[in-house]
């Protein structure tokens, strides 16, 4: 394993641990608030990921038809790590905004 793979795996595992910790420490005031925080974070993360994928698809279509740069596949592990980080940041943001 090279350094970059170990780095991605450590960021992904760290994000997963922080997401689980954030879920556990969400306010216990009511199910509605906890559910709203999760829903807001999920919808924001989904929107950001879809926008990133649309931009990448547009770049790929442009490079295939009009560009001179050959098509290069995107690393799926980097996308997964980015999605976990975006979800973690949005979860922490909405927890702070709507939490105790």
pLDDT in tens, 47-88: 999 999 898 888 888 887 887 777 677 788 788 888 888 998
Q: Looking only at Cα atoms, what is the longest distance across the chain?
A: 57
Q: What is the pLDDT of residue 30?
A: 65
Domain that holds residue 55: 3-98
Q: What is the pLDDT of residue 1?
A: 66
**Cβ–Cβ under 8 Å, residues 5 and 76:** no
Structurally, the chain folds into a number of domains equal to 1
Q: How confident is the model at residue 12 (pLDDT cuts 50, 70, 90)?
A: confident
Instruction: Answer whether residue 100 shows pLDDT above 60.
Output: no
Q: What is the pLDDT of residue 90?
A: 92
């Amino acid at each position: 394993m090279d350094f970059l793979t170990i780095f991605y795996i450590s960021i992904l595992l760290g994000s997963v641990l922080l997401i689980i910790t954030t879920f556990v420490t969400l306010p216990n005031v009511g199910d509605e608030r906890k559910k709203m925080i999760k829903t807001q974070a999920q919808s924001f993360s989904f929107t950001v990921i879809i926008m990133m994928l649309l931009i990448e698809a547009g770049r790929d279509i442009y490079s295939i038809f009009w560009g001179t740069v050959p098509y290069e596949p995107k690393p799926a592990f980097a996308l997964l790590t980015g999605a976990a980080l975006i979800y973690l940041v949005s979860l922490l943001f909405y927890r702070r905004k709507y939490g105790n």
